[in-house]
Structure 1
Amino acid sequence: MEQRMFATASSASARPLRGREREWRSVQAALDTAAAGRGGLVLVDGPAGAGKSRLLAATEDGAAGRGFAVARVGAEDLAQAGAERGRSDARRPRLMSVDDVPGSADGVSTALSLLPALLTHQAVVWVVARRTGTVCVDDWQPPGAVLLELGSLPAGAVSDLSADILHGRPDDELSSLAAGAAGNPLLLVSLLEGIREERLATVADGIVRLVHRQLPRRMEDVVGGWLRSLSSAARNLLEVASCLERTFTMDTLAALFGGSPARLLAPLEEVVRHDLLLIGLQGVLTFRHELVRQTVLHQVPGAIRVALRDESPGRIGELPATDGSGWELLSESERSIAELVAEGMTNREAAERLFLSPHTVTFHLRKVFRKLGIDSRVELTRIALERDRCGDGLDATSGG
């Protein structure tokens, strides 16, 4: 059996656009229109990390390969760029790309509104990427414009990306971890490239298996960038929410903040608008991406995690005396799995021992990690060893 670690980096620009085949065909059609002498406008919408910049870069490469003159301009320079291109030689088709249009500043809105007048008789195609989740010009869509809304990647694309970056198909455990990206391309690529860079997995017989189940440092960089775009109140809300169960309510959050739910409406609306939290039926809240929750949780000091867990409504006064690790919160099934994993077993080995499926073990192990406020097997082993030592001492003292 051949087994190897990852040694070489994969080029993002060389990778195919996984899961964006329909959008790519629309872009190609717009380039065909410009090559025929008529202008076009493509609007690319999507939340943070949806792959807007990646699609723009691929469009620029494709247009350059077809002989287009390619230019990227800032949103603030739209009006001036449009006027200059209107006076320039139109014999050569052009691509004008605008990445990451910000908020609904009057200047940006006015500049965008000028574009349709430049399209009819010029061989120019404009591709404009706009942020969703912010107060922007989402409603602006002139007649004839092509709107591409980038959503989550399909499951097949996730598997293909794993093969592109890690040179193998992910096993059940890695697939479960990757599912925490909820199809967000930036989160998924950051996770996979971080695993490769930090050598957290091996590939054998075409299957990628995790060696260490921990989040790579790249995740902190990506999620940290998203959090920095939020207000301090919204960041604080996410930090507290990450310490709760996967699903929770507004009342639970409000109780932990010591106030009325109305006080949290503004920061909650902000994180929902940025696609970080989802509101479900009857006001149930959950993180949009489990990887974001885990990354935020990892940055919360352990003592604060325990304090928030202890103060959470429905748990006050219900927890037995503990050593602060949270082991007593585990169900019998979760403890059995945690003990085997702490002994060094893989998820598959633990599944065989307990006559369970690897998927079931992975599911329970994620719950174990959440309840203990940890994110690696190393931390789980440390907690188990400390409990063994404490248990031996208690037995000797009690004479049991």
Structure 2
Amino acid sequence: MLEAGTHPLHGRSEEVSTLCHAIRSAHQAGSLRVSLEGGPGTGKSRLLAEAAALAESAGATVLRGLHEDPVTYDGTVVVLLDDIHCSDETDVKALSRVRLKAAGLPIVWCTSRRWGRPNSPLDIALGSLAEPHRAFRLRPLDERAAQRMAHDILGAEPEGELARAVSSVSGHPQALRILLEGFMDEGRVEIGTRARLTGAGLPEKFTALVRRYLQDCSPSCTHLLLVASVLGTHLIFGELTDVLGLKPSQLLPDLQEAVFSGLLSRDRDDVRFSNTLFRQVILDSMPASAQAAIRRQADEYRARQFGASLEGAGRDTGPDRPAPPAGGRAIRPEPYASTAGLVPRGFPGEPETADREVRRDPADGAGAAPPIPGWDHLTEKQVLIARLTVQGLTNKEIAGRLYLSPHTVNYHLRKIFQALSIRSRTDLVRLTHSAARERAGAGGTGWPGETRVPF
């Protein structure tokens, strides 16, 4: 059922503007179609409800589905079709009846569908229409829109741990609403001039939402997500195929399904969990013994992949090839998650986390030198690429090691240089050498920034 929300719609101004213009100008411009596509919980139905409110205020005839049969069709006709990927042949016949009854009148078709689902008969029928078509892919809300949405739900501006919790859902509208409603339902939000969180842990309402997302996935996709949640926020393709015992080509359908489900997101070759809280819920659904077994298997892969490069670095040191980290520890793409679960950094009584999960190194003392400025802004994958670069590997060698393209490695290197305010690989080597010497002088061990992103 399409219902307009009680709070303002944030972060969708372009989509609302297009819907408003289409409805109000249809009597002049003629029929057209506006389609919305996105993952679960991205606000597709809410936008259609907004379109219904706009249409009614403009005096248009509103059909909430193809099987409504108003007595008369008057002026502009606005047809709202939600989840058209679930339609069948009966809907196609109903589409023909609506077009026949509204002959001569402008029709605005407003549709929504789940991203990545196969085309349905209604998709195909609508695609064959001659009307102009404007399509939108609904992305996560930006930080400003997410904070405004949180203010509307809470009735006050969130601060501290609660503000970080808002950021931790990475702009997912439904997840944000359920998270905040869950906190309030459980009496864990104190509201005054600002709203603050008074208890640790995720609300059951939010946990149930993520589990529903997971249940909608196929068994093989669910298996992939469970294993990936143990290995880290960012997926290392070679590691995942090794642990799952699959060929790379066998992994692709499930990986694509996981992205379409909204539980994973993709930016170029970087595939990761859409937010740390999704990963936490999935991880917590696994027995500790299963997590430990997966970690042992991943450690074997990581030792094979990265142990050799450390040994090579130790044999050949110099200006462009530094010594390995103290203790000769093998490089790991990302620290494992705690079985206690991950929460936004600063939640009371919980381990420190953010988008990059951390694990404290026992060797790090209070007197250790601070990390390189900008180092903590790097993702785990960028940290790994930086370290392999300092060890003297070429872009092609790093690409082969991490199952990336050389172009992607080059892209990440540019991001690394920008974050560290340097210009070249040589600058990177000098910077890490200098930080390592300062760290050693301060009684620390290993690479700069190891307290932030240990390997």
Normalising by structure 2, what TM-score?
Answer: 0.59
Q: Deviations over 1:54-99 (max 9, x none)?
A: 11122223333444443312xxxx4x76xx67xx633354332111
Deviation at 1:278, TM superposition (A): 3.5
Give the 3-state SS of the residue equivalent to 1:213 in structure 2: coil
Aligned 8 A contact 1:38 1:121 in 2: no
Deviation at 1:305, TM superposition (A): 2.0
1:305 paired to 2:280: no
Deviation at 1:233, TM superposition (A): 0.6
Aligned 8 A contact 1:173 1:347 in 2: yes
Q: Deviations over 1:161-184 (max 9, x none)?
A: 111111222224333322232212
Which of 290, 295, 302 is 2:276 aligned to?
290
Aligned counterparts of 1:348 and 1:228: Cα–Cα separation in 2: 28
Matched residue, 2:426: none
Aligned counterparts of 1:115 and 1:91: Cα–Cα separation in 2: 13
User: What amino acid is the match of 2:148?
Assistant: D
Which of 14, 27, 46 is 2:19 aligned to?
27
Matched residue, 2:176: 188
Aligned counterparts of 1:347 and 1:275: Cα–Cα separation in 2: 26
Deviation at 1:317, TM superposition (A): 8.5
Give the 3-state SS of the residue equivalent to 1:102 in structure 2: helix
Aligned counterparts of 2:355 and 2:251: Cα–Cα separation in 1: 32
Aligned counterparts of 1:70 and 1:240: Cα–Cα separation in 2: 47
Matched residue, 1:250: 237
Aligned 8 A contact 2:239 2:302 in 1: no
User: CA distance change for structure 1 residues 46 and 301 in 2, over 3 Å: closer, same or farther?
Assistant: same
Aligned counterparts of 2:130 and 2:263: Cα–Cα separation in 1: 30
Deviation at 1:53, TM superposition (A): 0.5
Aligned 8 A contact 1:91 1:123 in 2: no
Unaligned 5+ runs, structure 1: 1-10, 319-333, 339-345, 351-359, 370-400
Aligned counterparts of 2:93 and 2:157: Cα–Cα separation in 1: 48
Q: Deviations over 1:108-127 (max 9, x none)?
A: 67877998888783144321
Matched residue, 2:150: 162
Aligned 8 A contact 2:263 2:273 in 1: yes
Normalising by structure 1, what TM-score?
Answer: 0.66
Give the 3-state SS of the residue equivalent to 1:175 in structure 2: helix
Query: What is the RMSD of the two structures over their aligned residues, measured on CA atoms?
Result: 3.8
Aligned counterparts of 1:315 and 1:51: Cα–Cα separation in 2: 40
Matched residue, 1:61: 53
Aligned counterparts of 1:125 and 1:195: Cα–Cα separation in 2: 40
User: CA distance change for structure 1 residues 92 and 349 in 2, over 3 Å: closer, same or farther?
Assistant: closer
Deviation at 1:221, TM superposition (A): 2.7
Matched residue, 1:227: 214
User: What amino acid is the match of 1:367?
Assistant: V
Deviates more, 1:182-191 or 1:38-47: 38-47
User: CA distance change for structure 1 residues 147 and 317 in 2, over 3 Å: closer, same or farther?
Assistant: closer
Q: Deviations over 1:229-260 (max 9, x none)?
A: 21111011111111112223122222222343
Aligned 8 A contact 1:176 1:362 in 2: no
Matched residue, 1:125: 108
Aligned 8 A contact 1:37 1:93 in 2: no
1:213 paired to 2:200: yes
Aligned length: 314
Deviates more, 1:99-108 or 1:179-188: 99-108
Matched residue, 1:99: 82
Q: Deviations over 1:108-152 (max 9, x none)?
A: 678779988887831443211122122236793854223233211
User: What amino acid is the match of 1:26?
Assistant: T
User: What amino acid is the match of 2:119?
Assistant: C
Deviation at 1:348, TM superposition (A): 9.8
Unaligned 5+ runs, structure 2: 305-334, 339-344, 361-455
Which of 109, 119, 122 is 1:136 aligned to?
119
Deviation at 1:270, TM superposition (A): 1.9
Give the 3-state SS of the residue equivalent to 2:34 in structure 1: strand
1:1-400 to 2 correspondence within 5 Å? 13-34=5-26, 38-73=30-65, 78=66, 89-102=72-85, 121-136=104-119, 140=127, 142-206=130-194, 208-279=195-266, 284-313=270-299, 347=346, 363=354, 366-368=357-359
Give the 3-state SS of the residue equivalent to 2:243 in structure 1: helix
User: CA distance change for structure 1 residues 276 and 362 in 2, over 3 Å: closer, same or farther?
Assistant: closer
